[in-house]
């Protein structure tokens, strides 16, 4: 049996950081399978870890990419010990300013592709597989001027919690990763095309290495949600205690 990790969104940001961390922490894995749109970046990643990376370039919005992964799993008789769904993107802006293509893209990548890939590989999970789904602190409550992105991440959080319950009897766990603003990623260069991040959110900034290390530790501790940093943990607690209407009044 070939033991692997499978990471989507592996070409940059926290997906790429996750590959590096997994490679360092889990040398017993036979291979790390990675997928993302940008083939040249995946090839560059493979050069960093000779013999350990297998690439599946392509857009996860296209079924053939997922089919190629499933076919390889079957042919190689591989079992997924770690599954990381890191593919995703967001756009900041008030209603009517984000293109239909970007709006539908957020839903398709953040929700549909994540779900379809996860459901497709369920038969190939190792008995004690750890699934790590990148959600966001935006999942904790509705976010005006970040409405669609926050809604997609609320979906990821809800789906992860439900799937985790279902897989518990198999010994597998699902952890929703819910970071706030993260440095050294391409996220905000894409998200801030129309509008900048709110100034107060800068108080919650953490590094991608912090997020990834915390996520792995939380996943292997069996936690259902991973939140990095005391300020963001406090924010999550606030969204559980205070009425959302009261918090959202800040935006008016």
End-to-end CA distance of the chain: 57
Cα separation, 129 vs 80, in Å, equals 7
Task: Give the domain CATH number at 182.
Answer: 3.40.50.720
Cα separation, 155 vs 111, in Å, equals 7
Total domains present in the chain:
1
Q: What is the mean pLDDT of residues 9-36?
A: 96
Give me the numbers of helices (H) and strands (E) for the chain, helices first please.
Answer: 10, 9
**pLDDT given at position 69:** 98
Cα separation, 205 vs 50, in Å, equals 33
> What percentage of the chain reaches a pLDDT higher than 90?
83
**Contact (CB, 8 A) for 33 and 7:** yes
Q: What is the mean pLDDT of residues 4-29?
A: 96
Cα separation, 106 vs 87, in Å, equals 10
The boundaries of the domain holding residue 93 are 2-251
For residue 69, which of 29, 117, 32 has the smallest C-alpha distance? 117
Residue 202 or 124, more confident: 124
Q: Which residue has the tokens 């769904």?
A: 85
Could you tell me the CA-to-CA distances from 97 to 127, 154, 199 in Å, in that order?
A: 45, 22, 20
pLDDT tens, position by position, 138-157: 999 999 999 999 999 999 99
pLDDT tens, position by position, 74-128: 999 999 999 999 999 999 888 889 999 999 999 999 999 999 999 999 999 999 9
Cα separation, 98 vs 79, in Å, equals 40
Has residue 197 got a pLDDT over 70?
no
Q: What is the mean pLDDT of residues 211-231?
A: 96
CA dihedral 74, 78, 81, 86 (to 10 degrees): -50
Could you tell me the CA-to-CA distances from 22 to 27, 97, 172, 173 in Å, in that order?
A: 8, 38, 18, 17
Q: What is the mean pLDDT of residues 206-226?
A: 96
Cα separation, 3 vs 216, in Å, equals 17
Cα separation, 229 vs 147, in Å, equals 24
- For residue 240, what is the enclosing H or E element? helix 230-241
With cut-offs at 50, 70 and 90, classify the pLDDT of residue 203: low
With cut-offs at 50, 70 and 90, classify the pLDDT of residue 183: confident
| Two structure tokens written together for 172 | 């597998």
**pLDDT given at position 185:** 55
pLDDT tens, position by position, 40-87: 999 999 999 999 999 999 999 999 999 999 999 999 999 999 999 999
> What percentage of the chain reaches a pLDDT higher than 70?
91
Cα separation, 25 vs 19, in Å, equals 10
């Amino acid at each position: 049996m070939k033991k692997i990790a499978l990471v989507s969104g592996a070409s940059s940001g926290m997906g790429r950081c996750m590959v590096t961390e997994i490679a360092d922490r889990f040398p017993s894995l036979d291979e790390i399978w990675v997928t993302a749109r940008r083939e040249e970046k995946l090839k560059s990643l493979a050069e960093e870890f000779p013999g350990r990376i297998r690439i599946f370039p392509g857009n996860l919005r296209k079924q053939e990419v997922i089919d190629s992964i499933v076919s390889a799993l079957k042919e190689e008789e591989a079992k997924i010990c770690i599954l990381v769904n890191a593919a995703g993107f967001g756009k900041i802006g008030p209603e009517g300013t984000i293109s239909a293509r970007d709006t539908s893209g957020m839903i398709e990548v953040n929700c549909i592709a994540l779900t379809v890939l996860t459901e497709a590989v369920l038969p190939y999970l190792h008995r004690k597989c750890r699934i790590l789904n990148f959600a966001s602190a935006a999942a904790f409550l509705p976010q005006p001027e970040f409405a669609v992105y926050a809604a997609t991440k609320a979906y990821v959080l809800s789906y992860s919690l439900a799937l985790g319950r279902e897989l518990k009897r198999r010994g597998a766990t699902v952890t929703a990763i819910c970071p706030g603003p993260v440095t050294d990623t391409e996220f905000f260069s894409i998200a801030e095309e129309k509008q900048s991040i709110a100034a107060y959110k800068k108080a919650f900034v953490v590094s991608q290495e912090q997020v990834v290390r915390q996520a792995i530790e939380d996943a292997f501790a069996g936690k259902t949600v991973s939140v990095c940093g005391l300020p963001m943990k406090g924010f999550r607690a606030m969204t559980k205690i205070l009425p959302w209407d009261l918090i959202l009044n800040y935006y008016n």
